[in-house]
Structure 1
Amino acid sequence: MNFPIWELHWAGGGLLIALIAVFHVYIAHFAVGGGLFLVLTEHLGYRRQSPAILDYTKRHTKFFLLVTMVLGGITGVGIWFIISLVAPAATSQLIHTFVFAWAIEWVFFLCEIVSLFIYFYTFGKMGRRNHLTMGWLYFFFGWMSLFMINGIIGFMLTPGDWLETKDFWDGLFNPSFWPALAFRTFIALILAGLYGFVTATWEKDPKTRETLVRYCATWLLAPFAFLLLSGWWYVHVLPEGPQAMVLGANPEIAPYLQGFLWISVVLFAGGLIMAVRMPAAIKRPMALVLLVIGLLYMGCFETMREAGRRPYLIHGYMYSNAILVGTEDAIAAEGFLQTSGWNQNQEITPENAMAAGREIFRGQCAACHSIGGPLHNIKRLSAQFGTVGLEAQIAGMGKIYSYMPRFAGTAQERKALAAYIVHDLVEAPVTEQHARPRPEVELEVPAFNADEAEYVLLSWCTLGEKCLSDSDSRFSILPPGSTLMAQLIRRGPLPELVTEDVEITYTAPAGFENPANHVEFWKYAPSLVGKELPQNVSAKGLGMSGVMKLGEQGTNFVADGIPVLPYMDDGTINPYPVFTIEAKDTASGEILATTKVLAPVSTEIGCKNCHGGTWRHEGTMGISVTTASDVLARHDRRHKTRLLPEAEAGKPVLCQSCHPDPLLKATGNPELLNLPAAIHGFHANYLSGQPAAEPCHSCHPTGPDSYTYCARGAHASKGLTCVNCHGTLEDHSLSLLRGEKEAGKPKADLLMRHIKPRLVGSVEEIEPRAPWNDQPDCLNCHVDFERPQDAEPSAFNQWVRGPEGLYRMRTDDAGLMCESCHGSTHAEYPATNAFHPDLDAIQPLQYQGHPGPIGSKGNCAVCHTEDMYDEFHHPNILGAL
């Protein structure tokens, strides 16, 4: 941060360093192995008394001198030039730490030059013993040069005790020094054979040519076992983080690891083939091909080694963007622009936001990312993001996946950076939010004659909003299947619940009868739920109309699994279909009571905010194929699965087939995190730090700009949000993850590592819970059924251990369920619906003429045919009413 940065744009992201360095290292290793090749080949010529071999050695020495001294020297200088411009802070640190080591290495390099020139120009002119001695001296100086540089390069990957001591010797003889030296020595010997093929295949005498080619093949083949053993040693001395990176924890590195392994096989096979007698016209091009393959081999190795350092330039000390480890929080508090002296903009205003974003990109991103170039092209990597999604991506860097450093800056700077990338680099237009028109809903409230009616029929949806994923060709996270409950009450001085000799039916509203026409769930049902399903019938066997069954409590009727969708046959999108519920006498068929109830259902799940694509239906809701494919591609990339190719082959999966989930009673793979913990825990790392319920609005249809606007109840009307009951996303996630941690799942720790609670002082204070079953208790706020005393009540961290005790399952002493009188979760009476103000108040309006809870405002007569003076259903019921 204390140096200006050379803006390379297209060639940024370390491309020039990679190109120059790989080429130089390929030559430098040849300079070491080739030195030994020269002196041993000369020995061979003397031992066999072969002038032809000695002549070849002299010619190869000229080739060797030109390649190593000219190309090697130029690229060596090129490395110093490019790293000093692209990574000046790390270069400065290496110079200051190892100035003595560099000086020694330069002495060895000078000795290399002198000894090689003497060896070449005195070939055949100097006595055999002295000339061979000069060859051995060249090899010694070359290997010692490798010895010194290996320590410095290894230091960047494994600084070891130097991080604490800052001692020169701790840095030079770092943990990977000896295995890396062995590995590089053996690869240098292999490269000597590869380069030897190039000159040996041009030998004119066929017999000599075959002898030399087989000799070179020995150099290629013999060290391979030692190379692999030293490679194994090298990898196993690496700390856990670098080791994981090298072995492919970074998905971008996996191809290079595979390439290294496959090229090992190719080179070994190539060496065997070259040893077979063939015409020179075949062997010459083959030698050149093997030489190019060797360059790719070295490129794979160096790429993996560099990747092992990520997100650092010097592991554990300096990040790839030159920010020192341990300074991130201070920079985040003060601001990146304020703490770096090379920025024109110190503060962000609406006028300079783009310019400030560019400076932040230059300081924190340009070291690794090019702009339109071939290496980590930021335009390609950010193409699917809007500003909201990219801001979340930036916020989550370096938390779960550690191959990128954490963003060091304020929330305002993060926003400016995201806007610069999305609107300036990717050139995505700025879009304005427009209110989406909702269909006009006609509502007919059933009649009720309080003087004559013998029955009251109450019905409700157990969830305030059933969310569905309609991305069935790719995956299903929430398949169709809403639940309606009902209770039939015989009115009287002592009302009673009726459960015998009656039949309760539900009937879908007109236009909603054919959900299979609008989604592909039924097409892919065999893959998603393991069986063929009749059209418009759910996995639980229910259709859009049918008969309710007596519930497990024995006091209510249930239709669990109605496959209702928010899509109508005429193309209208309506998340609030109104079902008709009827109670009939089973003996006579007489209709005893009729009511209507919402079955709220929405596919407005905001995956597109971060995964690209658009809404699937009419710019309103639904997960598009583009969005769903990106979700799977990222899952495959991170977790080594093959969900996307399997889905493209017609075999999408239900997420709960792997991840346990109490909602669907899915056991999945017990070793994996349950689905809510995995989803919320992962995304909390990217969406944390935002105001209150903003992260909730990013994914759920709860925000002020939502089309569905599912938070419709009395709580929402008083300004309460998700946070008041469930906590912020951070708190909510930690409660789920702590439950999984107590269940012995180590992945919970990984997701929890960077999540900080906001409603309590520490993670240890958060009560663990199971999703869906352990929920906030109404009585946390409504103590003794009174109104909350706090202006900002909070039910977080005090869980009802369910499912029996949950609001949606709880009953009073008479068996009357809470939701029958108070309405569904998130739609508690009085509720206000954006599609029609009375949609959620049908039964209160039907039975008592106002939208409050059933029986409120003194309306006990809804069920009781005589005045009530004693509290029965719950304490304070008369006072509250």
Structure 2
Amino acid sequence: MNFPIWELHWAGGGLLIALIAVFHVYIAHFAVGGGLFLVLTEHLGYRRNSPAILDYTKRHTKFFLLVTMVLGGITGVGIWFIISLVAPAATSQLIHTFVFAWAIEWVFFLGEIVALFIYFYTFGKMGARNHLTIGWIYFFFGWMSLFMINGIIGFMLTPGDWLTTRDFWDGFFNPTFWPSLAFRTFIALILAGLYGFVTATWEKDPQTRESLVRYCATWLLAPFAFLLLSGWWYVSVLPENAQAMVLGANPEIAPYLQGFLWISAVLFAGGLLMAVRMPAAIKRPMALVLLVIGLLYMGCFETVREAGRRPYLIHGYMYSNAILAGTEDAISAEGYLQTSGWHRNREITPENARDAGREIFRGQCAACHSIGGPLHDIKRLSAHYGTVGLEAQIAGMGKIYSYMPRFAGTAQERKALAAYIVHDLVGDPEVTQQTRPRPELDLEIPAFDAQDDEYVLLAWCTLGEKCISDSDSRFSMLPPGSTLMAQLIRRGPLPELVTEDVEVTFTAPAGFENPSNHVEFWKYAPSLVGKELAPNVSAKGLGMSGVMTPNDQNLTFLADGIPVLPYMDDGTVNPYPVFTIEAKDKASGEILATTKVVAPISTEIGCKNCHGGTWRHEGAMGISVTTASDVLARHDRRHKTELLPQAEAGKPVLCQSCHPDPLLKAEGDPALLNLPAAIHGFHANYLSGAPDAEPCHTCHPTGPDSYTYCARGTHASKGLTCVNCHGTLEDHALSLLKAEKDAGKPKADLLMRHLKPRLVASVEEIEPRKPWNDQPDCLSCHVDFEPPQDAEPSAFNQWVRGPEGLYRMRTDDAGLMCESCHGSTHAEYPAVNAFHPDLDAIQPLQYQGHPGPIGSRDNCAVCHTEDMFYEFHHLNILGER
């Protein structure tokens, strides 16, 4: 925040630091282990009285001097140069915290240089005892240099008590100081053997060569057990979050950890192989190969160690983008551009938004991400996002997965950053939102003669909009299966609900008879639901037409599991097919009553907004294979599953096979979060903070630009949104997660950590609930069945404990289901449908000529053949409009 940023574009994201640092550290560790190698090898030559070993030691000293002093010195200066440009704030902090330690380290380094030059230039010219003493002095200075650097480097990973005391010694002798020092010492000894192979294999005398190569192999092999033990010690003292990061919490790091373990085995095997007698022509290239492998070994270790700090440069103190921990909220409140002096744009306007986004990227993203380069290429990582999806991704950074810092800035700045990345870097053109034209639907209202007709047949879909996932070759979370209910009323002075001696049928509209032609659910049914299914038959055994099952308990007829889809055989997309419902006398077959009802069905689930791809069908709805594959790939990456390879092998899964879900009565794995809690809890961390119901529109077909536009009821026409009943996304998610937390599921805590309720003051005030069974109570707003008294009514946090008490399952005092007279959830009478204004009002129009609730406006005569003067069904019914 207090330094300008050096833009590296292709080479950004720390690439130059990584390249220089790994090479330098590889040489620096050789400088430590190699110093001991020199003095002990010289001592071996004297002990064996071997001029050949002494000659080899002198030659190796020259190689050692050139590598450590020249290459090591150049790369050491290179590190200071590059970190001061790429990470100036962290560099400044290290200098100011450890200026005394740096001074001591530089004294030790000067001592190394002097001692090594004396050691090399006096080889064979100084007495053996004195020369060995110079060698030991060099090793002491070299190891003490490691000692000092180890304290400073370890501080960045585990600052320990320094975070509170700011004490030099607390920072230097930090929690990982001693295990790190032991680990680095043993790896330095191993590298001494690796470098020794390079010079030993060029020894001309075969016998001496084999002897020296085996001697070098001992240096490689002997410390390995101690290296692994000290590595275990090192990892065990890390803080929990850093330990998790090192062990693979960040999927990008897992390959480097695996690489370190595999290369350990390769180097050990290489050391054994080098000890076997072979011609020099084979061993020389092998030595070079092992040296390169050793460089990769060091690279893997340093990458894993660096990963342990994420999302920090100095753990718990300074983030990788130089923002100090604990200042994020203040920066977000004031604005990132306002809090730094290194930006041209202080405020965002339509004219400067993209340029402001570029400045925000440079300040908050460029430290880790390159532009088109090999390291965390932002273009590759963002290629499948649109601005909506990327903005959500930015909003969720650092909440669930802590290897990236949280974004610090306003919602406007977040939007500008997303637009810059998507349009300027990735190169996606700006697209104006276009609503696909809807087909013009014909609608016939069935006849009803109030004088002569004996029966009234009411029917409804139990869900205001049934959504299904049509990504069956990859996964299914909402398989086909809609539910229609009906009640048959015999009209009279005291109307009667009839269930005996009658048969109620449902018939699909023309063009909707063959859903199996449009999705792959039936092809993959054995994998998804565990059994073969006949075409156009649901998992519950229903086809597109059939007989409804009577239920004497609630005096209804039920068709549960109609496999209707929003796709017609002629290619039309129509989410509102109209079914014909008929009641017949069982004995005579006479039709007693006929009505029609919409079975709302949509595949407009907005996964594509964040997971790439396009709508699967006609640019209007459906989850494409590209989108579904990305969903599975991310699930596999985060949760160590193999869902995508399994699906590609022809065995997709039903999400509820693992995640419990009351909707499908799926028990799943009781240890896992139920599916609604998992989905809403996870995505709330990415979509939080947006106004009103905007996050809901991202996934559900509820927004003003939706093709389906499922919010058709009187609540929607009065301006109410999802939030009035379910709360904001954060509130909704917290109510589900809190119930799972109470059930002892620790993952709920992780998803709740960064969620703050918006309709109540604290999480403690959230009433936990089970999905589908515990829903908002209508009477919390409609007290005594009156219109709401509040200008902004809210039913959030006042749950009906279901399923018996739910609106879709509740009856009035006469046994009529609430939905039979008031319409389906989200399509309450009077409802207005974007495909045809009367689609959801067929029965009110059929029986009373206006779209209000059945019986409203003094229309008791729909069922009662005598005037009604008292409120029988529920309070205030005579006043309903």
Q: Classify the TM-score, shorter chain.
A: over 0.9
Q: CA deviation at 1:813?
A: 2.4
Amino acid at match of 1:860: C
Q: List per-residue Cα deviations over 1:338-368 (Å, max 9, x = no partner).
A: 1100001111111111111111111101100
Write the distance in 1 (CA, Å) between the matches of 2:752 and 2:418.
Answer: 25
* Alpha-carbon RMSD: 0.7
Secondary structure at 2:405 match in 1: coil
Aligned residue in 1 for 2:495: 495
Contact 1:5/1:86 (8 A) holds in 2: yes
Contact 1:186/1:224 (8 A) holds in 2: yes
Aligned residue in 2 for 1:668: 668
Aligned residue in 2 for 1:794: 794
For structure 2, the 5+ residue unaligned runs are: none
Aligned residue in 1 for 2:767: 767
Shift of the 88–460 alpha-carbon distance from structure 1 to 2, 3 Å rule, reads same
Contact 2:856/2:879 (8 A) holds in 1: no
Write the distance in 2 (CA, Å) between the matches of 1:242 and 1:436.
Answer: 49
Write the distance in 1 (CA, Å) between the matches of 2:771 and 2:44.
Answer: 75
Contact 2:857/2:879 (8 A) holds in 1: no
Does residue 351 in structure 1 map to residue 356 in structure 2? no
Q: CA deviation at 1:296?
A: 0.3
Contact 1:693/1:721 (8 A) holds in 2: yes
Aligned residue in 2 for 1:101: 101
Secondary structure at 2:671 match in 1: coil
Contact 1:565/1:575 (8 A) holds in 2: yes
Contact 2:499/2:552 (8 A) holds in 1: no
Aligned residue in 1 for 2:4: 4
Does residue 861 in structure 1 map to residue 861 in structure 2? yes
Aligned residue in 2 for 1:680: 680
Q: CA deviation at 1:879?
A: 2.3
Aligned residue in 1 for 2:33: 33
Write the distance in 2 (CA, Å) between the matches of 1:554 and 1:685.
Answer: 41
Matches within 5 A, 1:386-425: 386-425=386-425
Aligned residue in 2 for 1:816: 816
Q: CA deviation at 1:309?
A: 0.4
Amino acid at match of 1:852: G
Matches within 5 A, 1:42-441: 42-441=42-441
Write the distance in 2 (CA, Å) between the matches of 1:874 and 1:50.
Answer: 109
Amino acid at match of 1:575: P
Write the distance in 2 (CA, Å) between the matches of 1:499 and 1:269.
Answer: 80
Quick one: percent identity of the two aligned structures?
Answer: 90
Q: List per-residue Cα deviations over 1:492-517 (Å, max 9, x = no partner).
A: 11111111111111111000000000
Write the distance in 2 (CA, Å) between the matches of 1:363 and 1:801.
Answer: 50
Write the distance in 2 (CA, Å) between the matches of 1:554 and 1:662.
Answer: 21
Normalised to the residue count of structure 2, the TM-score between the two structures is 0.99
Write the distance in 1 (CA, Å) between the matches of 2:446 and 2:92.
Answer: 81
Q: Is 47-56 or 569-578 further displaced after alignment?
A: 47-56
Does residue 837 in structure 1 map to residue 842 in structure 2? no
Contact 1:383/1:426 (8 A) holds in 2: yes
Q: CA deviation at 1:849?
A: 0.9
Matches within 5 A, 1:673-822: 673-822=673-822
Secondary structure at 1:704 match in 2: coil
Write the distance in 1 (CA, Å) between the matches of 2:75 and 2:196.
Answer: 21
Amino acid at match of 1:218: T
Contact 1:527/1:651 (8 A) holds in 2: yes
Write the distance in 1 (CA, Å) between the matches of 2:674 and 2:453.
Answer: 48
Q: CA deviation at 1:814?
A: 2.2
Aligned residue in 2 for 1:442: 442
Write the distance in 1 (CA, Å) between the matches of 2:270 and 2:500.
Answer: 83
Secondary structure at 1:338 match in 2: coil
Q: CA deviation at 1:47?
A: 1.5
Secondary structure at 1:251 match in 2: coil
Secondary structure at 2:337 match in 1: helix
Write the distance in 2 (CA, Å) between the matches of 1:474 and 1:406.
Answer: 32
Contact 1:154/1:180 (8 A) holds in 2: yes
Q: CA deviation at 1:794?
A: 0.3
Q: List per-residue Cα deviations over 1:76-129 (Å, max 9, x = no partner).
A: 000000000000000000000000000000000000011111111111111111
Does residue 506 in structure 1 map to residue 506 in structure 2? yes
Q: CA deviation at 1:591?
A: 1.2
Q: Is 493-502 or 780-789 further displaced after alignment?
A: 493-502
Contact 1:499/1:554 (8 A) holds in 2: no
Aligned pair count? 881
Secondary structure at 1:337 match in 2: coil
Amino acid at match of 1:633: A
Write the distance in 2 (CA, Å) between the matches of 1:740 and 1:444.
Answer: 47
Contact 2:150/2:181 (8 A) holds in 1: yes
Amino acid at match of 2:26: Y
Q: Is 809-818 or 480-489 further displaced after alignment?
A: 809-818
For structure 1, the 5+ residue unaligned runs are: none
Contact 2:499/2:551 (8 A) holds in 1: no
Secondary structure at 1:791 match in 2: coil
Write the distance in 1 (CA, Å) between the matches of 2:201 and 2:805.
Answer: 83
Write the distance in 1 (CA, Å) between the matches of 2:42 and 2:553.
Answer: 94
Amino acid at match of 1:436: R
Write the distance in 1 (CA, Å) between the matches of 2:284 and 2:551.
Answer: 82
Q: List per-residue Cα deviations over 1:708-737 (Å, max 9, x = no partner).
A: 000000100100000000000011011111
Secondary structure at 2:800 match in 1: strand
Normalised to the residue count of structure 1, the TM-score between the two structures is 0.99
Q: Is 279-288 or 775-784 further displaced after alignment?
A: 279-288
Aligned residue in 2 for 1:593: 593
Q: CA deviation at 1:656?
A: 0.6
Aligned residue in 1 for 2:616: 616
Write the distance in 2 (CA, Å) between the matches of 1:298 and 1:435.
Answer: 55
Write the distance in 2 (CA, Å) between the matches of 1:355 and 1:694.
Answer: 26
Q: CA deviation at 1:552?
A: 6.8
Q: List per-residue Cα deviations over 1:174-200 (Å, max 9, x = no partner).
A: 000000000000000111111111111
Aligned residue in 2 for 1:847: 847
Q: CA deviation at 1:554?
A: 4.0
Aligned residue in 1 for 2:474: 474
Write the distance in 2 (CA, Å) between the matches of 1:410 and 1:385.
Answer: 20
Q: List per-residue Cα deviations over 1:385-405 (Å, max 9, x = no partner).
A: 111111111111111110000
Amino acid at match of 1:428: D
Write the distance in 1 (CA, Å) between the matches of 2:633 and 2:554.
Answer: 46
Write the distance in 2 (CA, Å) between the matches of 1:172 and 1:655.
Answer: 50
Aligned residue in 2 for 1:633: 633
Aligned residue in 2 for 1:457: 457
Write the distance in 2 (CA, Å) between the matches of 1:277 and 1:529.
Answer: 62
Contact 2:2/2:341 (8 A) holds in 1: yes
Q: Is 583-592 or 28-37 further displaced after alignment?
A: 583-592
Q: CA deviation at 1:379?
A: 0.6
Write the distance in 2 (CA, Å) between the matches of 1:503 and 1:50.
Answer: 108
Shift of the 732–860 alpha-carbon distance from structure 1 to 2, 3 Å rule, reads same
Amino acid at match of 1:291: L
Write the distance in 1 (CA, Å) between the matches of 2:107 and 2:834.
Answer: 80
Q: CA deviation at 1:802?
A: 0.2
Write the distance in 2 (CA, Å) between the matches of 1:551 and 1:770.
Answer: 26
Write the distance in 1 (CA, Å) between the matches of 2:411 and 2:876.
Answer: 47
Write the distance in 2 (CA, Å) between the matches of 1:290 and 1:865.
Answer: 97
Secondary structure at 1:336 match in 2: coil
Contact 1:712/1:832 (8 A) holds in 2: yes
Amino acid at match of 2:226: F
Write the distance in 1 (CA, Å) between the matches of 2:716 and 2:267.
Answer: 68
Q: CA deviation at 1:435?
A: 2.3
Write the distance in 2 (CA, Å) between the matches of 1:817 and 1:695.
Answer: 32
Instruction: Extract structure 1 runs of 4+ deviating beyond 6 A.
Output: none
Secondary structure at 2:338 match in 1: helix
Q: CA deviation at 1:551?
A: 2.9
Contact 1:111/1:138 (8 A) holds in 2: yes
